[in-house]
Amino acid sequence: MTRGAAALRERALEELREFYTEEQIVELTLVVAVANLTNRFNDALQVEPDLG
């Protein structure tokens, strides 16, 4: 998912379905997308994350 916007390959989805429900796959996809957005946003603006 983080390498491009293309759909996941069917084999990858089949493997995910062995361990996760469709709802969990959607949630996992959302979490990955938000993390990717955050990383790209911070990289573009050269923001150093506050690691607390």
Please state the length of the chain: 52
The CA distances from residue 9 to 40, 42, 50, in Å, are: 23, 28, 35
pLDDT of residue 6: 73
What are the structural domain ranges in the chain?
A: 20-45
pLDDT of residue 5: 63
Residue type, 16: L
* 14-40 pLDDT tens trace: 999 999 999 999 999 999 999 999 999
Note the pTM of the prediction, 2 decimals.
0.72
- What is the 3-state composition of the chain as percent helix, strand, coil, each rounded to the nearest 5? 60, 0, 40
Residue type, 5: A
Q: What is the three-class DSSP state of 3?
A: coil
